[in-house]
Amino acid sequence: MNPYLSVVIPIYNEEANIPQLWERLAKVLDGNFTGERNWELIFTDDGSKDRSLMMLLELAKSEPRIKVVEFNRNYGQHSAIFAALAEVEGRVVVTLDADLQNPPEEIPKLVAKIEEGYDVVGGWRQGREENDSVFRRLPSKVVNAITRRTTGVKLHDYGCMLRAYSREVVDAMLLCKERSSFIPALANSFAKRITEVPVAHAERAAGDSKYGLWKLINLQFDLLTSFSLLPLQMLSVLGVLVSALGMGFGVYLLIYRMLHPDRTVEGVFTLFAILFMFIGAQFLAFGLLGEYIGRIYVEVRDRPRYMVKKVHQHSLKSQATSPK
C-alpha cells in the first residue's frame, strides 16, 4: 500500500542531530499518521563527511518505511531535496531541515492545510530573532523581499523549508530540468492555492549552519535569474534613464556655453566624473548579461544535476538507480 504522507529531509553532516530528529519524528508520525494514512520518510545524504550516512542506514535497517538516497558527493540542499522528491510515493509531501530548527511537531498542522485543499503550505517562522544571528537574518530579509517581488506571491517567509506540497505540485516540479532551482519559488509557480501557517522556530540543535554568505548570494542569483527577466528589463530602463540624463546635461552645457563663451574648459572634470559613472553602469550591465549567459551555458550543457549512488530501503527494495 502506498503511504499517504512522505516526509523529505536533506542531511549534510548532521550526525549530532539525527538521533533526536528521528525520536521526535517517530513520535509525531506514529501518533498522527496510521492505517490508511501511513507515512514514509526519505532522507538524502548529501555527501556527508561524518557518520550521518551510517546512522541513516542503521535507521533504515530497523524501519522499512525509511528510504535513504545516497549522493556520491555534496550537491547542496535543494538538489538533495529534489533527489528525495523523485522517490516520494505519498499524496502529501512535507519537507523539513534536519537541524531541528523546524519542529517536527508542526507537521500535522501543515498536512491539515493541504487537506483543506491548498496546493502549497509554507511555514512562517516565528520568533526567529532569538535564534538566528543578524548576519543570517539580514540576507534572508533581502531574499524574501526580492522573491516576493519577482515571483509575485506575497508570502512572509520563503526561506523556511518546513513546507507541505500536494503530490501534483511535486510531480510538476520533477518535470523541471533546470539546475538552479529554489524549491519554494518553483513550487509556487505550479500552485493555484498557496497559504502560510505560523510555525515555531528553534535554535539549531547541534552543529553549524551550512550556509555561508557566499552560498546565500548564489541562491539569490538563482532566484533572480531563474524566476524572472526583471533584471534584464531593468537594464533597458537604466539605459533610457542614463541617456536622458546625458542628453539633459548636453543641453545644459550648450546653454551654459552660450551664456559664458569665456569659460569653456571648466566643465571637463565634471564630464569625466559623469563619464565614469556611465562606464560603471555599463559594466554592471555586462555583468548581469554575463550572469544570464553563464546560466544558459550551464543549462545547455545539460549535465546531470546530481548523481544518486544508491537508494537504500530495507526489505522492500534496494537498487542502484541511473542518474537523473
Residue 77 binds: one of ligand UDP, Mg ion, none (C-beta under 5 to 8 A by kind): ligand UDP
Among 77, 101, 150, 188, binds Mg ion (CB under 5 A): 101
Q: Which is nearer to ligand UDP, 6 or 77 (CB)?
A: 77
Q: Which of residues 71-130 bind ligand UDP (CB under 6 A)?
A: 74, 76-77, 80, 97-99, 101
Would you say 33 or 158 has its CB closer to ligand UDP?
158
Residue owning grid cell 528553534: 202
Q: Give bridge partners of residue 68 from the DSSP assignment.
A: 43, 312
Closer to ligand UDP by Cβ: residue 66 or 288: 66
Please state, in angstroms and rounded to a whole number, the distance separating the CA atoms of residues 69 and 307. 10
- Under the binding rule (CB under 6 A), the answer on residue 7 touching ligand UDP is no
DSSP letters, 149-213, are HHH----S-SS---EEEEHHHHHHHHT---SS--HHHHHHTT-SSEEEEEE-----SSS--S--H
306 binds, among ligand UDP, Mg ion, none (CB under 5 to 8 A by kind): none
Per DSSP, helices labelled H in the chain are 18-32, 52-62, 77-85, 107-115, 134-151, 167-174, 183-188, 213-227, 230-259, 268-301
* Pairwise CA distance, residues 277 & 306, whole Å: 42
Q: What is the DSSP letter of 138?
A: H
Answer yes or no whether residue 20 interacts with ligand UDP by CB under 6 A: no
Helix (H, G, I), strand (E, B) or coil at 126: coil
CB closer to ligand UDP out of 56 and 80:
80
| From the list Mg ion, ligand UDP, none, partner contacted by residue 6 (C-beta under 5 to 8 A by kind) | none
Distance CA 141, CA 158 (A): 9
Query: Stretches 106-114, 203-211, 231-239, 287-295: which one binds ligand UDP (CB under 6 A)?
Result: 203-211
**For 70, left (φ over 0), alpha (ψ -120 to 50), or beta?**
beta
Cβ closest to ligand UDP, residue 85 vs residue 288: 85
Q: Considering only 57-65, 66-74, 92-100, 257-265, which stretch makes contact with Mg ion by CB under 5 A?
A: 92-100
Min dist. Cβ of residue 101 to ligand UDP (A): 5
Q: Does 15 bind ligand UDP (CB under 6 A)?
A: no
Q: Which residues make Cβ contacts (< 8 Å) with residue 121, sequence separation at least 6?
A: 110, 113, 114, 163, 164, 165, 194, 195, 196, 197
Q: Which of residues 43-62 bind ligand UDP (CB under 6 A)?
A: 46
Of ligand UDP, Mg ion, none, which one does residue 184 interact with (CB within 5 to 8 Å by kind)? none
Piece of 86-94, 99-107, 269-277, 312-320 that binds Mg ion (CB under 5 A): 99-107
Q: Which is nearer to ligand UDP, 3 or 76 (CB)?
A: 76
Q: Which residue has the cell 555527501?
A: 47
**Given the rule CB under 6 A, which of 118-126, 148-156, 165-173, 206-214 is the region that contacts ligand UDP?**
206-214
Binding residues with ligand UDP: total (CB under 6 A): 16
Residue 137 binds ligand UDP (CB under 6 A):
no
Nearest residue to 101 (alpha-carbon basis) of 20, 166, 15, 28: 20
Q: Which residue ranges make up the site for Mg ion (CB under 5 A)?
A: 97, 99, 101
Binding residues for ligand UDP, per CB under 6 A?
A: 10-12, 14, 46, 74, 76-77, 80, 97-99, 101, 209-211
